Amino acid sequence: MVMAVSFERYGRLYYLDPGPHRPRVGDKVLVPTDDGPEVAECVWAPQYVTEDIGGLPLCAGVATPADLERDEHNRDRRAEARLIAKRLIREHGLPMKVVGIDFVDRRPDVDQLVIVYFSAPHRVDFRELVRDLARGLRARIELRQVGARDEARLQGGIGPCGRDLCCATFLKDFEPVSVRMAKDQDLPLNPLKISGACGRLMCCLKYEHPLYQEFNAKAPSVGTPVETPAGDGVVVGHNVPSDTVVVRLAASGRRCACSRADVCSPRQQYEASSTTTPDAPVSLPTPTARSAEQEPARERIAEQERTQEPEQQTTPDPAAEQTTQEPAAGESAPRRRKPRRRRRLSDSSTDTGPTTAGPDDNTGDGS
Predicted pLDDT at 1? 85
Helix (H) or strand (E) holding 129: helix 127-137
Which are the contacts of 341, defined by CB distance < 8 A and separation ≥ 6?
335
Q: Write down the mean pLDDT value for the chain.
A: 77
Which are the contacts of 108, defined by CB distance < 8 A and separation ≥ 6?
none
In this prediction, what percent of the chain has a pLDDT beyond 90?
22
Region at 334 (left for phi over 0; alpha for psi -120 to 50; beta for the rest) = beta
Hey, is 2 helix, strand or coil? strand
Q: What is the pLDDT of residues 243-296, one digit of tens each?
A: 888 888 888 888 888 888 777 655 555 555 544 444 445 445 455 444 444 556
**Nearest Cα to Cα of residue 220 among 269, 258, 254:** 258
Query: Is a pLDDT exceeding 50 seen at residue 349?
Result: no
Predicted pLDDT at 337? 57
Q: What is the pLDDT of residues 300-341, one digit of tens each?
A: 777 766 766 554 454 454 444 444 454 455 455 555 555 555
pTM over cut 0.85 = no
